[in-house]
Structure 1
């Protein structure tokens, strides 16, 4: 607390001693120099900026050099007027963008006669001369006239150069999407548990979105990716609004090309049936020039058709040796003769295959259509008020209730249909005051962000029934036993092994069901309960205070400083239906038959009912199992302070320097505080991990050789720290103990005829699994001296306004991770340590050794510390986390004028290392800072190389043209083009302890890349005034107009068997790859079985689709 009080005092002193007039997180600014007829700076000129939106004005006086700056301007158009004596010069229609400084210069002839207003036509330069920030701003014109494939601000983030999509969002400049920060109306709305987009507002309610991809100053933090700054619309002195509708249906969508992969007895296609949203927005004055309101409401209704197809294998074709193809009859159709060869048919006991791919051939049995509906209702409300032009405030409230049902088709409804409800709420309040002739500005922002999520089985009363996932069985057995398949399916799948004397293919199994997902990884046939039951809540309270001051000293200094605090809380129930879920692997030629049981447990050595495993000395570990919720109530306290100076040595030369300090206090769940960790024996207090000394300097320089704001040469260096998401609070600091037992089928009682093998519910709870046991315990230790994850960034660039409203530029960005924060185990997954892989500070080692030396040599505590120190030393054996991004971008940006807009960029980028980011792209594991990527030292082999975000070439082109027919209306045509390199392809295998796709069999990228991809989207709109003040617009968007359904993902799982990496190997070495034992990981003489889907496309880009819309603006 002493450190916090000192930092708070320091920040407040800095704030009140002065920092500078500049744009805030929700506004922009205007600055410039006023000169006389001789070119000298003119002091004492009154500069007034009047908003065309609200009609309100703000003003400033030029200093001795003729310089001025007007801050806290809402994005929009402004008329800027200069008054000096009787001289009046006006610059109309100056564009102010969010988070940017617009240069507006003037030249006054002090000898001209008074009483005349000189209007200077022309727009302000498009270059942001105030900062080194990289990125783009997305305004209403962009989202209306460019065919953005989505309805929220998140769908437009890909417009920024250096951005690309990944599994969970949009990443920037080599970082993962979970490393971004999302700010709405000045409040941090980033998802607490994972760092994703949490408040996805639709574009109709947004004034402007600033996408900052790099080079940002010390005011911004808690991000090693990008910063997305969103400002919602506000009311004006006129009543304005719109009614809108967007919609698409399956009739607007081309047929999807199915990925070419080995089929199973159950296939499914998910297609959009309809997606429509409609709503209104309205803003206006409550008290003219004083108080304004803005409200909006937009329901969104979506339906997906899920077509389930059941099918069986065939055995009735024969290859014609003359053609090399299957024989055909006189009609040219495949000649299917199901009788055995001995009876003149073609059946030989081997299922027929596709001769080109080797995949089994199937014939359809039945199809069923399921509908999956979701309803979203989004609302916004906002009040702005101005006591005076110098003292203004706003209060905003947004909310997004969501309700729907999620459906899978591989199993019975109780286990595959889930009801889902979510409510996202954001409340913010902001106050801005200017003092000292507008030279001092103070801003306060308070925020509340909350997400409540509930989900359970759509079939009532199943919360006491565990989920079971069945693999490598028979669809007839499962469908008959659980009543989950149609009569047609059962009739077609029933073969002679089930007593069907009329089986058309008696020599083969008709409907074997491996339980494979589209990605080739076994997902299972689900029966029983739903599994995870959700009743989650995440909540953030935040407060931010900033102040600024303009000072003349060897030029002009713009100082700014501030302090912000966040109290982040989450509640996760950790509730499994029936207290467990089971994976039942029936006899097959891939995996050893066994039953896996997974349960949450609580270690209780004094009176635990069950034995969960053994400790390092082979003593039994006793525990209790949870049949209901096992909640974790987490909390993280973040605070930060910053100071920065923008020093204009000359009007065209600026140096920026800033320093940010952050602390993160990650706390144990409330249920664990002041208890003893049963695994480590440590006394648990309040704070589980405190990350201090997060000093983040930022340096930048900007030079304008034109001296008119039409050019910029800039450079930037900065350090940025990750803000650790709260998933770690739940899993590592929430007492999560997870038991996995692998039973031999003989341990689980007689065969269940519904399953064709053991029933997981019959496996003994207090008996060790003969195939293997793993206890993932809450015994998570934080390494002494652990340090935060950070990134260093270098940015260099040049921009020049080639023509009025058009700028060109080139920039270089290097981002290099300096340190990774992850969990790892140095004792074979018995104990996990939150650490910096490859680093353990020598001073921390010496302190712990000195503590050990002072202990009784025979004490148990000394022995425990000696073991602990040995584990910490083992951290150094791990590879250090690495990720290095280099990117060069060429850009052309044409602000809308003379009827057209253009934004284009080409980026050459490379991203290499062994750490993609805060999730694991290979398995989709979404556990920031506690993924499996560094868990075991044997998992690190072959991970260094081109990362999934390594896509060297990316071309982006956005533009639109307005055809103005005067009274006949306007026609708008817009286009969005994308072309990019593919992603590296790896060869992955199963790890005996961690599961599928965890082992890099060969170095990253050994199998090349997916193909180069391209797409084109178009927008056509026609708008016409139907009466004075009312405009009706109808529009149509077409996405992927060339219908290029290229490869998005390929199956990288080379084998389902457990296998060790071939360190530094090549493709030729895979023929020697051997299986490892699932019980202890030792290598066996058995060769691995190759996944026949390996290297095949498992996901394609969306087919051509259309969207129609209507908008009435008034």
Structure 2
């Protein structure tokens, strides 16, 4: 192995061994990039921060002899080019050979990471959706996340909200909920690096994985082209229908349809030969969806999504030692959903109600400088700015605009939401109450909702003999404008009070509940980190990696006040790589590390900023047949603020425990990789991850009252020394951020006097310790021959614990960091078991075979075991102890029919298999022209991938007709056509 190594997130490394005093030149003829270095006294050389591409490496000996070879440089890896054999005084010149196109990349013996790299050429040859998540799912240790969260991947047992995404070194993760990221026009991606574990200290803020993308760039040769991808609706199979437990049809997809197309054009070349290059791409996509779906729904929709995207990449070789690059792109997506009334119980489309306009994405600009200041010292600096829109507005059939401006005292306009929660026998008397003018039936996001990121980082690399030092500093400021309000400003819920639960015996009383939830704020997350790491060549064949990362996180509410401020959370990183044979053909490696995750921005919008959440019950005499609103109202006089949300800002000192630690995880990996010959390598690694601390919210105010010396009297009042606690108030929020299982130190204004008391609440009064353990054994291989390449993996994994992490797939809850997992102690009973991302077995194979110069075929196979299921029901509400009632959280407990059903014991979903195929034709008579057909899910397998795990009615405890109703299936068979021309 030649010299110590380190990884980078935008470029690669060329390194090796030669005779001391020789000069080594790496040159890319396509861009004119060239660097020359002198081989050190120990015979090692290393050129860092080399842009990806194909290079000629030339050795000029002290004796005047020369030799050269070609090598490919990929992101974050080291290309080893060695010109001598032996060590010390026994060095002799080797015969230099050029690596053929059918050879695999040499094993990167410098790396301790678990990384998969796929190039644009490889991705184009296999049948896979052209987006970052679909490509990431080809890597070992990744599984598709729950459908409730969209197209996201789970890495190594972590939730889908615990990953980080980069393009050309810039963080494109949407930190509002960590459930989105900028969607780069995928035709512009040159390489995608998928880090599933063991990544170095320069990467952080992730417990799952890292997706790192590098865009294409211009060269001295002019290139241009375009393509069209088209997925017709006539060749897309229908999704399976679903039925209630009574056999009644629930989901009828017979009228649903979908088609989509994406057209792209691009051009690249040199504006100044060898100096200034540009690559530009314009892409336009459209997707049309007709969604009838739920027979029991009162509406259906027709959706049209447009993606007018673009990307520009410019590279300026100021000199051989100073480079400047600009990346700019737009990923805006606009969706217009026309909503129609649907007669409940039928599948029909009647009156047009209006249009729901939503948008996602925005513009991103990144500037990066790289300076090779000496042969041994490299410096890079990056500055980036992005905006991501999440706005929403409605327009009624009559042309009236409906929106929410974010003012909590002025709710959204439009028709209110109507729900009829009366039992069936009451609805049978006078029909189901419903609105005939409400468009969404949900909260709408404020029209100006958006996220802004400003990132600055500086990274340095310094070679000191056998030590390679990397260090840097990262500033990442993220601001979110957010808020929501129910369409029409409120929800009216029709209910029935039946004291003895005996139908139609004359004691039933119908009433209606009004609920208002308005929230809106501009909140921030300020993130700082610095790191240092040393890759030390203990011997020529053995590298020891020692590193440390210090993360600081500050969360700021809508009033500009910090409610969480964590400084210098230490994350050690240790590892080794042993080049057993000294020729990069057999590597044994291992690493251990600690990784931290900050709170997302969404926590502050409701939990730490001013917001409004009220309820009130009424008697009524009638209802409006159009809006569904009750008429003839008489209040019960019980207007109340719920959960401490009372329209005024909370005291930021009371929102989180004073001793709050960030969410962090420890990881250990041990493995080996061996090249059996020039065309085939295989490897095995064992992975163990354990969550050491989580952050979530707890809403059990009784725990803090008890710890504060209060006791409850027979009337339910909480008293201390005869004085009653005043709750809630600005200094006494019900829900607070804490580390589950740990003692929490809260500041509380018990009597609404403005005086905060410090109270230590024992962990056992709040919840058990958050637990998540992931253990896996991964087998992976890489084969590459002149006309055939094949990659794949098999993973055996177990994921156990009492929390999935940032989100909660059990019920599709996307409230990152504030799921209901630890809201109350009762919710944690029997919650330990196999977690939603537990897929015990995963087999992945993908590759391509060139039948001739004109024809090729590709395939992609996935075989996977099913996820575990839960049976969630109501908890017996008999007193836990005299005077203390269990918290009624509906159908959220690990109980069914009153019997404990611990997590993961509700059975498992079926194994699933998916076969994708493609055929490509490149006619010899037109160079650059290509036709391709991809068939996804060839066998049209539609196994269930998730179900409704809330099995009992949240009020009565009776078994629901939707118990275990399929919530998602494998995507049905579809066909994608492509025509492309390059010149």
Q: TM-score if structure 2 supplies the norm length? A: 0.84
1:134 aligns with one of 114, 117, 123:
114
> Partner of 1:933: helix, strand, or coil?
helix
Q: Is it true that 1:24 corresponds to 2:8 in the alignment? A: yes
Structure 2 distance, partners of 1:1021, 1:713, is: 39
Distance apart, 1:513 and its partner CA: 6.2
Given that residues 908 and 954 in structure 1 are in contact (C-alpha distance below 8 angstroms), is that contact kept between their aligned partners in structure 2?
yes
Structure 2 distance, partners of 1:231, 1:441, is: 20
Q: Is it true that 1:446 corresponds to 2:383 in the alignment? A: yes
2:366 aligns with one of 428, 432, 439:
428
Q: Is it true that 1:1113 corresponds to 2:979 in the alignment? A: no
Structure 2 distance, partners of 1:994, 1:432, is: 59
Q: Is it true that 1:711 corresponds to 2:562 in the alignment? A: no
Given that residues 547 and 574 in structure 2 are in contact (C-alpha distance below 8 angstroms), is that contact kept between their aligned partners in structure 1?
yes
- In the other structure, the counterpart of 2:449 is 536
Structure 2 distance, partners of 1:75, 1:633, is: 40
Q: Is it true that 1:735 corresponds to 2:610 in the alignment? A: yes
Q: Is it true that 1:893 corresponds to 2:830 in the alignment? A: no
1:469 aligns with one of 414, 418, 425:
418
Structure 2 distance, partners of 1:440, 1:212, is: 26
Deviations 1:729-755, CA, capped at 9 Å, x for gaps: 2122222342234x2xxx243111628
Q: Is it true that 1:834 corresponds to 2:737 in the alignment? A: yes
Given that residues 466 and 582 in structure 1 are in contact (C-alpha distance below 8 angstroms), is that contact kept between their aligned partners in structure 2?
no
Structure 2 distance, partners of 1:415, 1:1055, is: 33
Structure 1 distance, partners of 2:77, 2:601, is: 32
Given that residues 88 and 117 in structure 1 are in contact (C-alpha distance below 8 angstroms), is that contact kept between their aligned partners in structure 2?
no
Given that residues 241 and 252 in structure 2 are in contact (C-alpha distance below 8 angstroms), is that contact kept between their aligned partners in structure 1?
no
| Greater displacement, 578-587 / 657-666 | 578-587
Structure 1 distance, partners of 2:607, 2:25, is: 56
1:751 aligns with one of 601, 622, 634:
622
Please show how residues 208-219 of structure 1 align to structure 2 within 5 Å. Answer: 208-219=191-202
Distance apart, 1:990 and its partner CA: 5.0
Deviations 1:490-509, CA, capped at 9 Å, x for gaps: xxxxx9x89xxxxxxxxxxx
Structure 1 distance, partners of 2:473, 2:125, is: 39
Structure 2 distance, partners of 1:816, 1:715, is: 17
1:1038 aligns with one of 935, 939, 947:
935
Structure 1 distance, partners of 2:177, 2:321, is: 39
Instruction: Decide whether aligned partners of structure 1 residues 727 and 760 sit closer, same or farther in structure 2, where only a CA change above 3 A counts.
Output: farther
Distance apart, 1:258 and its partner CA: 1.5
Q: Is it true that 1:184 corresponds to 2:167 in the alignment? A: yes
- In the other structure, the counterpart of 2:514 is 597
Given that residues 21 and 441 in structure 1 are in contact (C-alpha distance below 8 angstroms), is that contact kept between their aligned partners in structure 2?
no
Instruction: Decide whether aligned partners of structure 1 residues 213 and 592 sit closer, same or farther in structure 2, where only a CA change above 3 A counts.
Output: farther
- In the other structure, the counterpart of 1:824 is 698
Q: Is it true that 1:648 corresponds to 2:537 in the alignment? A: yes
Q: Is it true that 1:285 corresponds to 2:195 in the alignment? A: no
Instruction: Decide whether aligned partners of structure 1 residues 651 and 408 sit closer, same or farther in structure 2, where only a CA change above 3 A counts.
Output: farther
Structure 2 distance, partners of 1:989, 1:761, is: 34
Given that residues 660 and 695 in structure 1 are in contact (C-alpha distance below 8 angstroms), is that contact kept between their aligned partners in structure 2?
yes
Given that residues 683 and 779 in structure 2 are in contact (C-alpha distance below 8 angstroms), is that contact kept between their aligned partners in structure 1?
yes
**CA RMSD, Structure 1 to Structure 2 (Å):** 3.5
2:302 aligns with one of 343, 368, 371:
371
Q: Is it true that 1:163 corresponds to 2:60 in the alignment? A: no
Q: TM-score if structure 1 supplies the norm length? A: 0.75
Unaligned runs of 5+ residues in structure 2 are 89-93, 343-349, 404-412, 704-727, 729-733, 878-886, 896-900
Structure 1 distance, partners of 2:363, 2:130, is: 19
| Greater displacement, 179-188 / 1047-1056 | 1047-1056
Deviations 1:779-834, CA, capped at 9 Å, x for gaps: 55211211111000000000001111421000000010000111102325961221
| Greater displacement, 712-721 / 1015-1024 | 1015-1024
> Partner of 2:971: helix, strand, or coil?
coil
Structure 1 distance, partners of 2:554, 2:359, is: 31
Structure 2 distance, partners of 1:81, 1:944, is: 59
Given that residues 299 and 339 in structure 2 are in contact (C-alpha distance below 8 angstroms), is that contact kept between their aligned partners in structure 1?
no
Distance apart, 1:579 and its partner CA: 2.8
Please show how residues 511-550 of structure 1 align to structure 2 within 5 Å. Answer: 526=438, 531-534=443-446, 535-550=448-463
Structure 1 distance, partners of 2:849, 2:159, is: 34
Structure 2 distance, partners of 1:833, 1:453, is: 27
Q: Is it true that 1:305 corresponds to 2:290 in the alignment? A: yes
Please show how residues 478-497 of structure 1 align to structure 2 within 5 Å. Answer: none
- In the other structure, the counterpart of 1:151 is 130
Q: Is it true that 1:243 corresponds to 2:226 in the alignment? A: yes
Structure 2 distance, partners of 1:414, 1:587, is: 35
Given that residues 740 and 774 in structure 1 are in contact (C-alpha distance below 8 angstroms), is that contact kept between their aligned partners in structure 2?
no
Structure 1 distance, partners of 2:294, 2:625, is: 22
Distance apart, 1:994 and its partner CA: 6.9
- In the other structure, the counterpart of 2:408 is none
> Partner of 2:826: helix, strand, or coil?
helix
Structure 2 distance, partners of 1:926, 1:761, is: 35
Structure 1 distance, partners of 2:280, 2:965, is: 49
Deviations 1:63-121, CA, capped at 9 Å, x for gaps: 112111112122222221111135555454312111111211113899xxxxx996555
Given that residues 470 and 533 in structure 2 are in contact (C-alpha distance below 8 angstroms), is that contact kept between their aligned partners in structure 1?
yes
Deviations 1:410-443, CA, capped at 9 Å, x for gaps: 669787741113342111000000122x211000
> Partner of 1:251: helix, strand, or coil?
helix
Instruction: Decide whether aligned partners of structure 1 residues 120 and 775 sit closer, same or farther in structure 2, where only a CA change above 3 A counts.
Output: closer
Structure 2 distance, partners of 1:984, 1:946, is: 7
Q: Is it true that 1:562 corresponds to 2:472 in the alignment? A: yes
Structure 1 distance, partners of 2:631, 2:51, is: 62
Q: Is it true that 1:998 corresponds to 2:892 in the alignment? A: yes
Given that residues 962 and 973 in structure 1 are in contact (C-alpha distance below 8 angstroms), is that contact kept between their aligned partners in structure 2?
yes
Distance apart, 1:471 and its partner CA: 2.8
Given that residues 154 and 197 in structure 1 are in contact (C-alpha distance below 8 angstroms), is that contact kept between their aligned partners in structure 2?
no
| Greater displacement, 582-591 / 158-167 | 582-591
> Partner of 1:1056: helix, strand, or coil?
coil
Structure 2 distance, partners of 1:863, 1:458, is: 45
> Partner of 1:128: helix, strand, or coil?
coil
Given that residues 356 and 439 in structure 2 are in contact (C-alpha distance below 8 angstroms), is that contact kept between their aligned partners in structure 1?
no
2:913 aligns with one of 1014, 1023, 1032:
1014
Given that residues 622 and 632 in structure 2 are in contact (C-alpha distance below 8 angstroms), is that contact kept between their aligned partners in structure 1?
no
Structure 1 distance, partners of 2:296, 2:759, is: 58
**How many aligned positions are there?**
891
| Greater displacement, 405-414 / 560-569 | 405-414
Structure 2 distance, partners of 1:410, 1:703, is: 66
Given that residues 741 and 768 in structure 2 are in contact (C-alpha distance below 8 angstroms), is that contact kept between their aligned partners in structure 1?
yes
> Partner of 2:121: helix, strand, or coil?
helix
Given that residues 140 and 203 in structure 1 are in contact (C-alpha distance below 8 angstroms), is that contact kept between their aligned partners in structure 2?
no
Instruction: Decide whether aligned partners of structure 1 residues 234 and 406 sit closer, same or farther in structure 2, where only a CA change above 3 A counts.
Output: same
> Partner of 1:137: helix, strand, or coil?
strand
- In the other structure, the counterpart of 2:833 is 945
Structure 1 distance, partners of 2:294, 2:544, is: 65
Structure 1 distance, partners of 2:420, 2:438, is: 9
Please show how residues 247-326 of structure 1 align to structure 2 within 5 Å. Answer: 247-261=230-244, 262-263=247-248, 271-307=256-292
Structure 1 distance, partners of 2:951, 2:436, is: 19
Given that residues 622 and 631 in structure 2 are in contact (C-alpha distance below 8 angstroms), is that contact kept between their aligned partners in structure 1?
no
Please show how residues 815-894 of structure 1 align to structure 2 within 5 Å. Answer: 815-827=689-701, 831-840=734-743, 869=759, 872-873=761-762, 876-894=765-783
Structure 2 distance, partners of 1:124, 1:1049, is: 38
Structure 1 distance, partners of 2:294, 2:831, is: 38
Instruction: Decide whether aligned partners of structure 1 residues 256 and 1105 sit closer, same or farther in structure 2, where only a CA change above 3 A counts.
Output: same
Instruction: Decide whether aligned partners of structure 1 residues 368 and 1006 sit closer, same or farther in structure 2, where only a CA change above 3 A counts.
Output: closer
Unaligned runs of 5+ residues in structure 1 are 1-18, 35-41, 111-115, 313-366, 479-494, 499-511, 516-522, 601-625, 674-685, 853-858, 1059-1074, 1076-1087
